[in-house]
Structure 1
């Protein structure tokens, strides 16, 4: 590593461990919030354009969504595992180790997802049946799934590269890469679907092209000289490093993987109530996801600061950042929930010609907004635990909302209460997972306080 690079890293180190905490978190968070919101806007635009093709087409996108979530889960496993390990290494000023970790993470995710892509394309018909496609959705689902499968290695690798940049403190570079593909996707959707007459296939092709562009832009950002460079000619495989990456990222895999399983079960549970209910859930999930992304961006900014400062033994900054995100995020989500109290016209933007979709979508959205403000407890707790290497606790907190509670509730409530039970699944899971999160976080916050006191005593 050159003297110029070492000087740059020294300046970045001082910024991360010495600059005022709250402005630092916001500087790290704002680019993440922007990129996540742009991606969410793309998802909504995609839903809008696909909605013009009919309710079955809208539902087909939702049927494939668990596959996209699983791909994201694998990308985040390698990205968060690589990034948190790098963050602690950089906090200890182990620059060469951080460079090796980055290369190992990228190569590993590309190899794994390439294998899964081939398997998915080979068995695509049984795959869409497993995902819960109805007879009227099957052909749409196969078309869309084919493009998503081809894009999987690029999407997962781009997710990992984004994390690698953020955990070095280069959140703006991550934003540029993610935003470039999402904006291109928004432009290509109507052009391919209607301008070139590709129809539903155009939506899948636009997504695939956007993911490929995102990957190459982020790869270019990661090879620029003033950050940890990913140079494959320096790659050296290490089982120990791979194990540390997996341990650090497993909680993300579990959290998002269970979300994928929950989406499949939710689609299958909604199938007896018809395409309108499935489409309503798809629309609402994307709207709620956009609201959540605002807070997730704040959490990503905090996680960068958290892992860096934990490695530098600045434990008081880890705790202070946690409480700052809880307060700011909670207030923000309360305001968002209030704004969504009357959602009929909003749902109507996506399927104005289907009153059944509007009826169910409005009920689902109100139920989801009722517990939205609980999100910061588990979301902030998850990124903090992951950032400080408390991987088992992070896995428990991360899997609560979309797994430990949501999965059994999906199996139980609809059988007892019908469609009303289906609508109540997510709010009930939010309440139970928040209680679990508080129980797990209390001893970990006390542990950080003890580490802080011991460090101050030594100094």
Structure 2
């Protein structure tokens, strides 16, 4: 009840900071793991192993897409149920999310291991990179049995307003991952398989922490056996509201098929490795944006359920300002120190030269994407699946895919055409978001009246 009162009445700036800061710290640490993991692989095995990791990563993204779809969809419903004081329904929603991620996790593991070779070929694996990608992914797929539970349930913990517990669940896994990464790659000389093993063991630690939290009397949610009974109405709404998150992550995997194959065609194994490094740098530099999103969502969802439209609009404004500030700062770091940042992963001169060039282009329009990220997440928090889906797909599918297919063929742009597709897609999707947000604000104003 204390958490619910804070969501409805606490000063918005303080509330957003309190919910966003733990999420941001957790996500930054998780992004730091991705950086350290890639540095260890680059330094301990070589940049070709980074290329293999880049090929395998879209499969991990699909696992995360399914977990996020269920977790964010369920979290949106739970936030609104808590705002409406319907605690029993919130518990039932949580129970159904547990059931769904459990079943889907097993299916992903089995099907992934059966079709691993054609899957990796589809994602652009060359003859050189395939052994690295396969060795890594075989281990990761075993962890997919339980990892979706950790990622999905983390959203539910935030939905009840306990951002610190959600942060700690991420910290436990990430810190252990970094430690095990070093041990398995260097002293034990286990190569890329060691990196994968470190990942699934640390994910298991996060699952154990979450279970202790849920059943140790700290959670508002009290999921019991009868809450696991499938309720198709709840499951349909969960999937519908969470589908934009799935679409965003799944679109990333579809893009990876096009992007990795295009990179291999225009730049070879080196270009794939460069993108692997650049992608992890972007994930780290801009993770605070998604921390703010995760702080904003329970506030917007709860107050929308409680009919406090004024607070919905207030958190939207503050979130856009905060994400824009972070995006500008992060872009400056990437533009001023690109060579130094790329060089941390591998000291190969060719990788550093090509990576510096690519990074500066790819992040050129990132200062404006805070609006796009917040806009798509707001519609999701309000339970409006269609506009959220359209905004989610706008950057990655509607704009980026045509650009990355067309631009490399224009005037012989080649690899440059791939890199400039990123900032153009960022700019166009932000314009589209502004249009939809203005329309939604007019609708919210009528609800206040």
Q: Is the TM-score greater than 0.5?
A: yes
Contact 2:407 2:417 in 1 (8 A): yes
Q: 2:10 aligns with which of 9, 19, 36?
A: 19
Instruction: Tell me whether 220-229 or 27-36 shows the greater mean CA deviation.
Output: 220-229
1:9-408 to 2 correspondences below 5 Å:
10-52=1-43, 53-226=45-218, 227-272=220-265, 273-342=267-336, 343-352=338-347, 354-408=348-402
- Report how far residue 223 of structure 1 moved: 2.2
Give the superposition deviation at 1:276. 1.4
Classify 1:191/1:382 alpha carbon distance in 2 versus 1 (closer, same or farther; 3 Å): same
Contact 1:91–1:312 (CA<8 Å) still a contact in 2?
yes
SS at 2:221's partner residue? coil
**Residue 144 of structure 2 aligns to a residue in which SS?**
helix
The RMSD of aligned alpha carbons is: 1.2
Cα deviation for residue 201 of structure 1 reads 1.0
Offset at residue 38 of structure 1 (A): 0.6
Question: Secondary structure of the equivalent of 1:23?
Answer: helix
- Deviation of 1:233 after TM superposition, in Å, equals 4.9
Residue equivalent to 2:431: 435
Contact 1:128-1:141 at 8 Å conserved across structures: yes
- SS class of match (1:274): helix
Cα separation, 2, equivalents of 1:206 and 1:414: 38
Is 1:449 the counterpart of 2:449 in the alignment? no
CA–CA distance in structure 1, aligned partners of residues 86 and 135 of structure 2 = 47
C-alpha distance in 1 between matches for 2:128 and 2:228? 48
Q: Structure 1 pair 105/345, CA: closer, same or farther in 2 (3 Å)?
A: same
* 5+ long unaligned stretches in structure 1: 1-9, 455-459
Residue number in structure 2 paired with 1:3: none
Q: Tell me the number of residue pairs that the alignment of Structure 1 and Structure 2 aligns.
A: 443
Structure 2: stretches of 5+ with no match in the other structure: none
Q: Is the 8 A contact 1:161 1:222 kept in 2?
A: no
- State the TM-score, normalized to the length of structure 2: 0.96
